[in-house]
DNA sequence: CCTGAAGGTGAGCAAGCGCTTAGGCAAGTG
DNA sequence: CACTTGCCTAAGCGCTTGCTCACCTTCAGG
């Protein structure tokens, strides 16, 4: 022991957050917000989980709301990147839609505590921060809609109402964060595969092999 | 003027709640909880909306949590009744599933403020009340699963994973309460029709007329 | 007219909230 | 050594919270 070494008991997200104390606080906040909701979480809860005194929080973050914003921002960035990566890859529209849903859902299931905060605590943000986040969400919407439009144009999909179906697809994927339970029987991979199949059916893609 | 007269500016739900003051408080609570969430709503908010002093709340309800429980209970009862009515009707599995989704979604869109509280403020309930409500939700799940199972048995549906698909269908419908916006372009009826179509595709029902 | 129940209010209590302030301690620099 | 800088804590301020309590008003029944 002795050499610099990451503690990788489980996957370590939030690696981009530094310094260390700020990350510990952020991780603690994600856990607390996901479990009890933003408004039911106190700054003492967060600090306690991070093993610090309540005042320590305000060295790294100006307010409790800024913490939520940082989490929301990073989470939306990650989710959008995942969607975009799949959307911009090569392949048929069906392949891209399938990949997008699979990876998007896998993230929401695998990081369901983060995702829960990111997707369901939006109204707790202040006016300014909320509009920033809403803009990110519109980009997610656009990414999915583009794939579906491509599929319709190529004759791969049969979709009478593209905006409505886009909305439904995203809604379906996002809501995974609400019900997914680690204690449940499904792995994030399995849910991703199931949902990719369901979504291909929703857009009327010709039954894939 | 003077004859007894109902003020029916809009549909009057909660007619089953009496006396009048208790209903006004409950309606006020639904509005406040839906807008800002349970924990961010104060008893003064609720009383204020109902045009009463904060103390009046405690004449009709023991605690703020009891108010939430009453709302949640009534809402779940209503939602379950709607689902069951469609599920128990005559017709093919496809017809029953379509009817169930259409009416369930229409309720979630049309009463999206109530539905939002009912579906997304569950963790704010106390231990005892929450388990009671969770039991109701399992019945909703069972009702939908039964229709899907019927369809599979009859050869109408092609569903590899019945429990998973059931979960996805309910999740899809419930999440309508989160995003539906009165200012949006869709009516509850339109969303219900769209979703019924999407769900039939998800279960691989032969394209309906 | 009196009485008692039903339904309301104003004032306020104890607890908990987000956040601030004064100061402590360890490490780096001259 | 003195001094600064980065990170943290103990204590607590001002305010809001859920809820209570003493009291008031209205109205039906005898």
**How do residues A124-174 score in pLDDT, each as one tens digit?**
999 999 999 999 999 999 999 999 999 999 999 999 999 999 999 999 999
Please check whether residue A100 touches B, CB under 8 A: no
Contact (Cβ atoms closer than 8 angstroms) between residue A93 and residue A156: yes
Q: Which two tokens stand for residue A14?
A: 């939030």
**Same domain flag for B76 and B52:** no
Looking at residue A207, its pLDDT comes to 66
Q: Which of A44, A61, A78 is the last residue of a domain?
A: A61
Q: Report which secondary-structure segment, H or E, holds B49.
A: helix B43-49
DSSP A88-143: TSSS-HHHHHHHHHHHHHHHHHHTHHHHHHHHH-GGGS-HHHHHHHHHHHHHHHHH
Looking at residue B176, its pLDDT comes to 98
**Same domain flag for A130 and A178:** yes
**Same domain flag for A107 and A196:** yes
pLDDT at residue B206 is higher than 70? yes
Contact (Cβ atoms closer than 8 angstroms) between residue B133 and residue B140: no
**How do residues B113-126 score in pLDDT, each as one tens digit?**
999 999 999 999 99
Within a domain: B96: yes
Within a domain: A164: yes
Nearest to B106 by CA among B177, B36, B42: B177
Residues in CB range of A90: below 8 A, 6 or more apart: none
d(CA A55, CA B76): 42
The domain in which residue A88 lies consists of 65-202
Average pLDDT over residues A187-198: 98
**Same domain flag for B141 and B81:** yes
pLDDT confidence band for A16 (50 / 70 / 90): confident
Interface probe for B, chosen from A101, A134, A168 (most Cβ of B below 10 Å), is A168
Nucleic strand D contact set for B 46-65 (CB, < 7 Å): 54-55, 58, 62-65
d(CA A202, CA A162): 11
Within a domain: A9: no
Contact (Cβ atoms closer than 8 angstroms) between residue B106 and residue B192: yes
Asked if strand D contacts A122 at the CB level, meaning under 7 A, the answer is: no
Contact (Cβ atoms closer than 8 angstroms) between residue A99 and residue A195: no
d(CA B102, CA B199): 10
Contact (Cβ atoms closer than 8 angstroms) between residue B72 and residue B133: yes
Q: Look over chain A and give the mean of its residue pLDDT values, rounded to a whole number.
A: 91
**Same domain flag for B111 and B195:** yes
User: What's the pTM?
Assistant: 0.90
* CB neighbour class for B116 (10 Å; exposed up to 12, middle 13-18, buried from 19): buried
Cβ atoms within 10 Å of B184's Cβ, excluding its own:
11
pLDDT at residue B181 is higher than 80? yes
Specify the number of domains making up chain B: 2
Contact (Cβ atoms closer than 8 angstroms) between residue A161 and residue A203: no
Please check whether residue A194 touches B, CB under 8 A: yes
Within a domain: B90: yes
**Among residues of chain A, what percentage have pLDDT more than 70?**
93
Among protein residues, the one whose C-alpha sits closest to the C1' atom of C8 is B56
- Dihedral of CA atoms B178, B181, B187, B192 in degrees, nearest 10, equals -10
**Same domain flag for A74 and A138:** yes
Within a domain: A154: yes
d(CA A44, CA B93): 53
Q: Look over chain B and give the mean of its residue pLDDT values, rounded to a whole number.
A: 92
* CATH number for the domain harbouring residue A172: 1.10.357.10
Q: What is the largest CA-CA distance in chain A?
A: 62
């Amino acid at each position: 022991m002795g050499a610099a070494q990451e503690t990788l008991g489980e996957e370590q997200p939030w690696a981009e957050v530094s310094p260390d104390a700020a990350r510990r606080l952020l991780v603690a906040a994600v856990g607390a917000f996901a479990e009890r909701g933003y408004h039911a979480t106190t700054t003492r809860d967060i600090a306690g989980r991070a093993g610090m005194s309540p005042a320590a929080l305000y060295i790294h973050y100006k307010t409790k709301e800024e913490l939520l914003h940082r989490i929301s921002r990073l989470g939306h960035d990650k989710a959008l990147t995942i969607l975009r990566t799949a959307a911009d890859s090569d392949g048929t529209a069906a392949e891209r839609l399938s990949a997008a849903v699979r990876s998007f859902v896998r993230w929401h299931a695998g990081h369901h505590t983060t995702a829960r905060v990111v997707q369901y605590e939006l109204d707790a943000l202040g006016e300014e921060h909320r509009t920033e986040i809403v803009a990110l969400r519109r980009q997610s919407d656009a990414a999915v809609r583009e794939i579906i439009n491509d599929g319709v144009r190529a004759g791969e999909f049969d979709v009478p109402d593209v905006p409505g179906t886009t909305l439904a697809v995203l809604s379906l994927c996002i809501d995974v964060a609400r019900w997914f339970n680690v204690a449940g029987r499904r792995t994030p991979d399995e849910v991703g595969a199931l949902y990719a199949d369901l979504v291909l059916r929703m857009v009327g893609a010709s039954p894939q092999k």
